[in-house]
């Protein structure tokens, strides 16, 4: 039940939440806003197959690699200050990227956008938690935060589709500027500075090792898929794995590690974080591949392709909004389990789409999977905040959002590389991607149909692997979460009381 002695939440807190949601929406949108724009970017900048993947996932890797570090930096030096600096850099990098003259420059600016974006999410959620004294209001605010983050991923391609019918591809990045300007004007008025006492120094070696390890490992995976095995890719992969292993061991020796791996001793918490990672990996990969499928295989216009994404986006957003109320009744453990099976069912429906038609199956797939995506996005944020003391809110929020952002980047890198590998093996072997093959002069009808069929085979391979992984994790979740206390040691009754 709600505490009667808690004063009403002031209007300023809700206005502060509204201001915070602007950058949160943008950071999520920028993880997916280029999906529909990639055919236009390919025509304008002619990136290679490897560069195309980097354009899409360099942003996510930069965000994911640095979220934990910036969570700790915000704890020490001030979360509001970090928010303001990050928003300003994010806006400048967005404006520059919109007019990038080459693929290399666009990739570099997307990395800068990712660095700036990594400053926003952990500090935003930590500041949000301090705005609301009433636990019920705080739970509602966190649910709104999670729904906004989920909606950003979902509506990114839709917004891009509307802009691309009227403007050039860079317009999808200029959309960030007015939102960030409003934030920079209002945040100093409505939000207050927050620091955590006794945070200590940020371990620079850990930051560098985690970022370099992730980038080297993913470079090796993508290079091998696009161009085949090579000595350079093998060396990069081994170096990346060694760096990540050294990073993990170092965290156990630090008094204040960037990643508190001790939290993962709780199997429910571990499954929750994986539930934040895997759905984003599946969603980002299939959303990107489906955007190409709709335009380059089925021949739909960008506006038509964007319209087909609306039902799934609506379902995802509604699911994220209503999940806290559902969790109050069935518990977060049951919600986590159901998310995996909804996603697996939706991915399985993609297998019914082929190169002759499949837009209806695409709508059905995104709608069914959207239920699971919305549940996972909402539940993971709640568990992250509930699992740690308030003074570690920034770092804990960073850990949860890191799972999401790394899932987004890994999905495009790993699953995208799988699709590229299948296309290279099953296609006409004239170019490494479908877009490059379709642009070759003098291609006969049979060759083009072969290329489109190979792309669909790659899409089916990705959907199959992702669906199987979700079924496996769902079964593991059933075994681990069966009986006992609810997620992170919170009982169903306690959670109902917290949510009112």
**How far is Cα 352 from Cα 425, in angstroms, rounded to an integer?**
22
What percent of the chain is helix, strand and coil (3-state, nearest 5)? 80, 0, 20
Residue 98 burial (CB count, 10 A): 20
Residue 286 pLDDT greater than 50, yes or no: yes
Same domain, 69 and 210: no
Same domain, 102 and 170: yes
Residue 222 pLDDT greater than 60, yes or no: yes
Same domain, 164 and 299: yes
Count of structural domains within the chain:
2
Residue 333 pLDDT greater than 90, yes or no: no
**How far is Cα 312 from Cα 314, in angstroms, rounded to an integer?**
5
Residue 99 pLDDT greater than 90, yes or no: yes
**CATH number of the domain where residue 184 is located:** 1.20.1250.20
What rounded mean pLDDT belongs to the chain? 78
Tokens coding 294: 């709709």
Q: Where a domain ends, among 214, 232, 257?
A: 257
User: Do 355 and 456 form a contact (C-beta atoms < 8 A)?
Assistant: yes
Residue 5 located in a structural domain: no
Higher pLDDT, 37 or 122: 37
Same domain, 233 and 331: no
Residues 36-54: what's their mean pLDDT?
80
Q: What is the CA radius of gyration of the chain?
A: 22
Residues 301-328: what's their mean pLDDT?
82
Which span out of 196-200, 388-392, 438-442 was modeled with the highest average pLDDT?
Answer: 438-442
Same domain, 221 and 356: no
**How far is Cα 91 from Cα 273, in angstroms, rounded to an integer?**
30
Residue 139 located in a structural domain: yes
Q: What is the pLDDT of residue 392?
A: 55
Domain that holds residue 222: 203-257
pTM of the model: 0.73
Which span out of 154-168, 307-321, 414-428, 457-471 was modeled with the highest average pLDDT?
Answer: 457-471
Residue 494 located in a structural domain: yes
Same domain, 97 and 234: no
Same domain, 320 and 232: no
Among candidates 457, 472, 370, 371, which has minimal Cα distance to 422?
A: 457
Same domain, 364 and 253: no
Angle between helices 11-29 and 176-190 (to 10 degrees): 150
Q: What is the DSSP letter of 294?
A: I
Residue 3 located in a structural domain: no
Same domain, 412 and 481: yes
User: Do 210 and 146 form a contact (C-beta atoms < 8 A)?
Assistant: no
Residue 2 located in a structural domain: no
Q: What is the pLDDT of residue 487?
A: 45
Residues 217-221: what's their mean pLDDT?
79
Same domain, 251 and 323: no
Q: What is the pLDDT of residue 482?
A: 63
Same domain, 188 and 243: no
Higher pLDDT, 303 or 370: 370
Same domain, 69 and 162: yes
**DSSP-derived 3-state class of residue 108:** helix
Tokens coding 138: 């705080």
Among candidates 350, 335, 445, which has minimal Cα distance to 381?
A: 335
Residue 342 pLDDT greater than 90, yes or no: yes
Tokens coding 165: 């019918």
């Amino acid at each position: 039940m709600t505490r009667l002695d808690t004063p009403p939440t002031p209007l300023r807190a809700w206005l502060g939440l509204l201001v915070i949601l602007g950058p949160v929406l943008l950071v999520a949108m920028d993880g997916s806003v280029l999906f529909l724009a990639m055919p236009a970017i390919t025509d304008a900048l002619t990136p290679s197959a490897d560069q195309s993947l980097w354009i899409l996932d360099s942003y996510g890797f930069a965000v994911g690699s640095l979220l934990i570090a910036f969570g700790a930096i915000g704890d020490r030096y001030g979360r509001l200050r970090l928010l303001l600096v990050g928003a300003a850099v994010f806006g400048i990098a967005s404006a520059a990227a919109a007019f990038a003259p080459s693929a290399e420059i666009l990739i570099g600016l997307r990395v800068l956008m990712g660095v700036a974006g990594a400053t926003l999410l952990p500090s935003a959620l930590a500041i949000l938690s301090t705005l609301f004294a009433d636990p019920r209001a705080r739970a509602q605010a966190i649910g709104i935060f999670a729904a906004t983050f989920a909606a950003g991923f979902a509506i990114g391609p839709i917004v891009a589709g509307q802009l691309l019918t009227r403007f050039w591809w860079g317009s999808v990045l200029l959309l960030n500027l007015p939102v960030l300007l409003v934030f920079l004007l209002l945040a100093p008025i409505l939000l207050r500075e927050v620091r955590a006492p006794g945070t200590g120094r940020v371990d620079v070696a850990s930051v560098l090792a985690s970022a370099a390890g992730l980038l080297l490992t993913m470079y090796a995976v993508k290079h091998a898929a696009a161009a085949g095995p090579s000595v350079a890719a093998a060396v990069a992969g081994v170096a990346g794995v060694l760096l990540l292993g050294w990073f993990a061991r170092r965290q156990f020796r630090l008094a204040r590690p960037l990643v508190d791996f001790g939290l993962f001793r709780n199997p429910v918490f571990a499954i929750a974080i994986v539930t934040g990672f895997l759905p984003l990996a599946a969603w980002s990969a299939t959303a990107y591949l489906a955007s190409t499928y709709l335009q380059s295989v089925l021949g739909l216009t960008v506006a038509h392709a964007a319209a087909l994404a609306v039902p799934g986006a609506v379902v995802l957003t509604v699911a994220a909004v209503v999940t806290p109320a559902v969790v109050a009744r069935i518990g977060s453990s049951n919600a986590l389990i159901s998310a995996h099976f909804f996603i697996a069912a939706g991915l399985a429906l993609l297998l019914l789409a082929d190169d002759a038609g499949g837009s209806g199956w695409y709508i059905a797939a995104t709608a069914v999977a959207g239920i699971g995506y919305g549940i996972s996005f909402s539940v993971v944020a709640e568990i992250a905040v509930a699992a740690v003391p308030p003074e570690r809110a920034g770092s804990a929020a960073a850990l949860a959002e890191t799972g999401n952002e790394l899932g987004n980047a890994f999905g495009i890198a790993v699953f995208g590389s799988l699709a590229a590998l299948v296309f290279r093996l099953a296609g006409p072997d004239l170019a490494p991607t479908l877009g490059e093959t379709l642009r070759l002069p003098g291609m006969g009808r049979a060759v083009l149909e072969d290329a489109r069929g190979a792309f669909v085979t790659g899409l089916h391979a990705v959907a199959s692997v992702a669906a199987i992984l979700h079924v496996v994790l769902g079964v593991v979740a059933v075994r681990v979460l069966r009986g006992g206390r609810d997620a992170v040691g919170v009982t169903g009754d306690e959670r109902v009381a917290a949510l009112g």
